[in-house]
Every structure is written in structure tokens, then in C-alpha cells.
Structure 1
């Protein structure tokens, strides 16, 4: 039997982000994945501005930006004729508070590759072709059985088990946690990654997302993927059609579909990955059950419309990582993990509502050019109602930043007069006490340097003051304002409560 602090089942983006966060905190963990490689397909391509900030903190944003591209404008088609061109997304704005205002596009398989490489940089690795086949939990931990590719079994003892094993989560089912929701659309959808040729192949240029929204037989969309020759193909079908990937996603079947629906002379030469689904939304009744925690699709599934599912899942892991680290390494009470359930289930419910509205607007709305606005960027999601959020300042304006909100970025100078971004100061597994005051901010005793660092910006241009207002702001390790106060004694009390 091997012992570990955290066992993660599922090495998609959710599990990998959690493993990276635990690795940089020095928390022993294992991450296992039953497949023999990372996710092979392009599904989950949209990366929202808030997620880019998370990936910045984890040290992978440069690789993601280098490999990704902007959301391309939609090129509508009527048969073989080009129609209107329009933008699908809006920018988050031009502000120092938002360093990544534009959503990015990147196939999910490439996102997984980038995250695996970062985990390996930190000394971790994924146990591919390793499946969780059973587990039992008790008040002190979880005893899990793993089956390896050669058929051998292994027993692992972990203090915590995190299920990031997808919408059909075997862990969630074994726990008996209800997973309730609704089918958003009776119409099945086929998505495939293909290599195409043919006389009209140059018409499918990489600068656009090509859509035949009124095609007879159902919508078809083609999007050349970033920095590869592969094209993502999406096709809708009639409600009574039962899709069979082995039959409907062959090169011959997809070539015939494109000829019928587009009229263009296109030939599908190869299909590298394909999947069929009916859009639905669902959420687990709870995200924590004793020593087991649910994250990502194991806890909630979304319509792909609006690009919310993968982003919400990544941020589950980001919320959970620092709390597991606090409990396991810094002596925080286990009750801190209840806030993971409370915070993320509320966010998931809100985002499920948003992605469902976007789906219905796309499918049934009168405007086929329905744009993804700033509500899809996830920058305004927060935890004002959380037990970890304390707004203790008086006379705060209604539109001001408050405890529970995302902590904005801002350029400033450090005490030595060197230029720095607040996100550079926040980066890492610690709390940051941001002192935007005229007085001293050292009038408290922190539980230790691992818990909190103090930063007093030199704010010559006023960017910090405009973003935050005045006061002492205790920034959580996941980039949200935990405490806003004018009294240094409140900082000590807050940290004492969180650390136990």
C-alpha cells in the first residue's frame, strides 16, 4: 500500500490544474487517468479571460498564448455563397485591471499537453492507463484500488480523493450523489476533428469560423484549428436521429454530409477524433461527501455554448487547491473544505444558467448573430456570499470592489521603486495583504510567512487606488478578496479563523 495526501482521478484540465497547484505547494499527490494519453479531441476550445489569469498564476499562460489564437469572426454561408461576417465575442475592455481581455481558442488536447508539461516541470507526472476501480472512506481518509494496464492492482491510501473523472464520473455514482438536470435540446450534435482536401478547401480559411446555420438537414460549422492542419467539424441533426460515431463520422459519411449541406467541393480524408452528444445541463447535489470531493464535469456539465464548461471546471480546481494545501500543510481545519462546496456549487449553478441561456438563444433566438458578452468572461464571478468573505469597511460606494470579488490587476511600483504588476505580487500559494492606505500595515501578527505576505504599492499613477479604493485587502491564494478592512487587527483575526 502506498500513502499520499491527495489522489486525483482524471487527468483532464481540471485534474491537471489541481495537481499543478498541489505540486507547487509541496503536497504529495497522485493523478491517474484510465486512457493511454491525454484527451485526444478539440472539444473545450474556448479559454476565457478569468481562466487566463488562473493559468498566469500557475505559470502556463505564455505557452497557452503562444499556441492559441483569438476567437475568429463568424463567416456565414448560404450554400456556396459567402454571407455576413460578424464577431462572436466581445472584449473585456481596455483596462490595466484586466491583463487578458480577449478570450482565446485552443484545442483541448493541446491545453492538456501544456498542463502535463507544467506538472512535469514541478516534478509530478500522470499515471496514464491506470483506473480507479473502487474505494472506501473512513473519518481519516480513503483507501482506493487502482488497476494498471497490465492488469495488476494497487492499493493506495489517501487523505483525500478528488474525482475529476468527467460527466459520467464513476466516483460520483459510487457515492450515490444525485446528479440532476435537464436535456437542453433534443437535437443530437456530432463534433469531429478532420483533415480535409478538395478544390474548395482554400475557401475554409483559418481566419474565420465558417457556419451554414440554415443548411437543409441541420447546421454545419467548420473551424480550422490553431497551428495544425486539422479542422473542427460540428453538425446538427434531426431530433429523431440516433447518431452512431462508427457509422456517421467516417470520412465517407462526413464528405457526403459536407456536399449535401454546403455545396462546396470538400473531401474528408481522415477523422482523428469524433464524438456525439445531446446538449444537457446537470449538477451534483453536493461537491463534497466526507473525504471525497467532486470537481469539473464530475460536479457539473454544461452546454458547450458560451464556452463555460471547461473554464468553470478549471476554476473548481483552483479554488480547491489552496484549501487542500491549507488543511494538509498549514493546519487549517477540515471545515475549510466545506467552503469549496458552498462557493463552487453557487458559481456552477449561475454559470449553468448562463450557458443554458446562450444555448437557447443560439438555437431558438431570432438573432442568429447572438454575441457572447462580458458575462461569459467570468471576471465578475465571485464569492460575496461566502463565509470566507468579510467586508468590514464603512461607507463603501455601491459600485466599489468588495470582499468576495475578483482581485484586479494593476501596474505600480514596489517599495524599491521598481515596476511591478499586482498579479506578479499575488502569484504563488500565499495570501497577500495589499495595503492601500496612508498608515502602516504591519500592526498584526501573521501565522507565518507561508500564509501571508504584505505589499504596499507605490501608486504614482493611481491604478491601484482606482481598482481597489482605500483600505487593507487580504487577497486569497486564488485571487479573490477575502477581507477588506481599515483595521489591521481584523487581518489577524481573519487569518486566525481560517488557519484554525
Structure 2
């Protein structure tokens, strides 16, 4: 086996899809007996929608969810104010998706699981990892049922309490974002319209929200409870909470489908790679849910790692390419942790700062900008959409290959288009498989050297080093 992925959440499933479409032999294992049943990470940012477009699941994701409603503020049983959840961002050719999409996490995972199966991948449920050892050639994983599996690489996508991270001895550095306990639940509720996210402020900063979950008949309940309160996750406890904070009676809650409590925390793993084991998603970084960054940052981890693992396993790139995963994603996750904490504390507005379209890798060792006077799109930036000779760029980028804009130079494994859109500025642009500009120049001078270092050009003739 090439890759063992521990955890069948959005991170593990996204990585599984990316590897499956490259023909990499990978298996996803999950401790639970089924997919996660709750709505927890319900916001899909525009950059994640672009990733899902590339992976062939965006249409199904859109069918499973819908747009965010405006918030409706209530006091003493009266509607007292309405406000949008996000600052409006106008779509354009370069950024066709600018509005966050609401999809209950369990529905997102169903769509990803179906796509993984369509590509020939699978999830082995009921596999709890209990230990692992690694050597120069791979990783051996042990499970509670006595089985062992051997893989060339292992990816920990097993959540904030990651068993793999603990086994590897990787610490997490962080802080408590809010001392108050929080509760989230999926419920069926009578007496509220489904056109608004209903918010009921309470005393001393406590509050309760009921958000209609697009694509379902449920509401997601979110509550910030007074400091020192012990959350009651039972159906009776949820009914009492709704009656205490809203004008609705206890009988308005007709069903409790899932519930969980937490205390918002921001934490970052000290390392994202230990030999042949790599950390991704919540196993590597834990966010406050405010601003909808956690799941989305996790999907970006998988998308960054997938093409790099594929290149190394196929002998197209040296194993050192995987070092750029930690270099790029740990810095990115640290920035997203600061952003999530800022949104939680009311210091950052939801909108341009939270859609993740401005994130990039300009400082990465894998990024090379050779133009003395770069235009609006620089090496390291997200490659915007656009049209060249009637071809949509996102269609040209789709798939785990590199794309060269601005020349017809024939390069194995690279799709070339004769020009870049005017919005890019002047130059030649090499787009990585994950949709970021890896190299940019006024001409193609220096391109071959970059391709060899990044895993193309002469790299395909090198023996495999994985």
C-alpha cells in the first residue's frame, strides 16, 4: 500500500479522492463504525468550492446545501433586527465563487465518500489505530482488532484528539479562545421560519442561535453558555435550553439528532511531518468555529499534500518535496488560527478576510518569481479563473497536472495554453496541480530548472526515492 489515511472526515476523504484520481494505492481507515453524523463544520468557503470543483464534487455539494440566510435578532419574543452574515463580495471572472455555501458536515462527507468510491477508493470502518512504527521504507500501523497494515506513508487526519499525533509525540501549542462552554446540536424545531438564522442574546454574553440547515429539515443549535455551566446534551436538556433563551416552549423541539459540547481553543501542532507520517486537518490545527475556517483549512491541507505525495510515490520528485507541505501549510494554518480567533472575538468581519481566496505561498521555497516587475498575479498566488482562446482556466487546471500559461512550449505532463488572461498581467505562469502559481517569468528562461526541482522535467527519469 502507498498511503494509509487515518480518519474519514473531510480531510481524509479529500486526500483519498485526490490520491485515487492519481492511481495511488491508498486506504482510509476510520475508528467509528460510520461517517460522522453531525452538522458541525457547515460552512464551505469559496476557495474550498474551487477545490471541490477540481475534484468533481461541486455540483453534488451544491445540491446538498444552499446559501446562508441573514441573521434575525430576537429580544423578549420580538424581532428587533436583521443583518447579513457576511460582507458582500462581488463575483468576477477570476473568482466565480465568492459566497460561502452552507452544507451540513455529514452531507459533505457523504458526497466525498461517494466520490471516493466512484474512483475505486474505500473506507475501512471500525479500525481504531493503537500504535505505529516507521523505518526508512514505510510505516507499520497496529489496530485494536489485532490487524496490522504496512504503507509507504501514513497521514493522520484523525481529528483534534489525534491518536497518531500523540503516538508520534508531537505537541500542540495554543490557547483557550473563550472560557465559556459551547454547545452545538442538530434539532428539529417548530415555530421558526427557515429564511433566517435566528439569534437569541442572553445575559452576560450568553446566547443561543438556531440556524436552518440548508438541504435538510434540521436546525443547527449553537449556544454560548455562562462560564461554569455544565452543558446538558440530553434531549430534555436541549429542550430546557431552548425554552430558557427563546420565546419557544420546550415542546417546540421535536427531535434531537446529534449534540456535542466544546470550549473554543486555538492550537497548532509543533510539526506537520515526522519521517513518513504527516499530520493534516484538525490533527495539525484546532480552531474556534467562528468564521468557518477549520474544515476549510483542513481541506486545503489535503489538497496541498495530495499532489506532492503522488509525485513522490511515482518517482517524479524526490522525497524532499514533502518538506514543502509542512513549510507551506503550517504557516497558513497559523494565520488561519489568528483569523478564527479574531472573528470569534469580534475583531475581524466575515467577508473578504474569511473566504480564503487571498491565501497563497509567496514565501515558500517551492515558489519562484523571476520577473523584476511582477504584475497583479505573482508566483505563490492563487491562480484566478479566466478564459484563454475560449477555454476556461478552471477547466484547463482540472486534474492533477501542471498548467503553463503564456507559451506553447511542449513539456511532458504539463498542459500549455498560449496566453494568460489580461487580469494576470504580463508573463509566463506555471500553475501547480493545486491551483497556485509556482513559477512566473517574463520568458521561459529558468523554467526547466524549476520543473526539475519541483518534480517535472528530467525528474521523471530519476529512480523513485520514496
TM-score with structure 1 length normalisation?
Answer: 0.88
Does the alignment pair 1:480 with 2:465?
A: no
Does the alignment pair 1:453 with 2:415?
A: yes
Does the alignment pair 1:60 with 2:48?
A: no
Query: What pairs up with 1:72-83 in 2 under 5 angstroms?
Result: 72-83=69-80
Does the alignment pair 1:425 with 2:396?
A: yes
Q: Distance in 1 between matches of 2:185 and 2:77?
A: 22
2:91–2:97: 8 Å Cα contact kept in structure 1?
no
Structure 2 unpaired stretches of 5+ = 460-466
Matched residue, 2:6:
9
Matched residue, 2:451:
495
2:204–2:226: 8 Å Cα contact kept in structure 1?
no
Does the alignment pair 1:237 with 2:213?
A: no
Deviations 1:452-490 (A, max 9, x none): 121124x8xxxx112x11111000000000000122232
Pick one of 303, 308, 322 that aligns with 2:307: 322
Matched residue, 1:224:
212
C-alpha RMSD of the superposition: 1.5
Q: Distance in 2 between matches of 1:169 and 1:181?
A: 15
Does the alignment pair 1:403 with 2:383?
A: no
Query: What pairs up with 1:147-158 in 2 under 5 angstroms?
Result: 147=144, 151=145, 153-158=146-151
Q: Which moved more, 1:262-271 or 1:181-190?
A: 262-271
Pick one of 189, 204, 209 that aligns with 2:197: 209
Shift of 1:371: 3.8
Deviations 1:317-368 (A, max 9, x none): 000000000100143110000000000000000010000011111xxx7xxx
Q: Distance in 1 between matches of 2:284 and 2:102?
A: 24
Pick one of 425, 443, 465 that aligns with 2:422: 465
Matched residue, 1:416:
none
Matched residue, 1:381:
359
Matched residue, 1:360:
345
Shift of 1:216: 7.2
Q: Distance in 2 between matches of 1:388 and 1:217?
A: 45
Q: Distance in 1 between matches of 2:449 and 2:108?
A: 40
Matched residue, 1:256:
240
Shift of 1:101: 1.3
Shift of 1:401: 1.1
Shift of 1:313: 0.3
Pick one of 133, 138, 146 that aligns with 2:135: 138
Runs of 4+ in 1 over 4 A off after TM superposition: none
Q: What is the aligned length?
A: 455
Shift of 1:269: 2.4
Shift of 1:266: 5.0
Deviations 1:171-208 (A, max 9, x none): 101111111100011100111111223xxx1xx21111
Instruction: Tell me the SS of whatever aligns to 1:30.
Output: strand
Q: Distance in 1 between matches of 2:306 and 2:189?
A: 42
Q: Which moved more, 1:208-217 or 1:340-349?
A: 208-217
Instruction: Tell me the SS of whatever aligns to 1:488.
Output: coil
Pick one of 172, 176, 181 that aligns with 1:179: 172
Q: Distance in 1 between matches of 2:309 and 2:118?
A: 21
Does the alignment pair 1:307 with 2:304?
A: no
Matched residue, 2:152:
159
Deviations 1:55-85 (A, max 9, x none): 0000000111122111110000002101110
Query: What pairs up with 1:185-200 in 2 under 5 angstroms?
Result: 185-197=178-190
Matched residue, 1:342:
327
Q: Distance in 2 between matches of 1:103 and 1:482?
A: 27
Pick one of 391, 407, 425 that aligns with 2:369: 391
Q: Distance in 1 between matches of 2:80 and 2:106?
A: 32
Instruction: Tell me the SS of whatever aligns to 2:229.
Output: coil
Matched residue, 2:163:
170
Q: Distance in 1 between matches of 2:60 and 2:302?
A: 20
Matched residue, 2:463:
none
Instruction: Tell me the SS of whatever aligns to 1:319.
Output: helix
Q: Distance in 2 between matches of 1:387 and 1:34?
A: 36
Instruction: Tell me the SS of whatever aligns to 1:26.
Output: coil
Q: Distance in 1 between matches of 2:91 and 2:298?
A: 27
Instruction: Tell me the SS of whatever aligns to 1:387.
Output: coil
Matched residue, 2:47:
50
2:63–2:215: 8 Å Cα contact kept in structure 1?
no
Q: Distance in 2 between matches of 1:430 and 1:7?
A: 23
Q: Distance in 2 between matches of 1:101 and 1:235?
A: 28
Q: Distance in 2 between matches of 1:91 and 1:411?
A: 25
Instruction: Tell me the SS of whatever aligns to 1:82.
Output: strand
Change (3 A) 1:371 1:214: farther
Instruction: Tell me the SS of whatever aligns to 1:234.
Output: strand
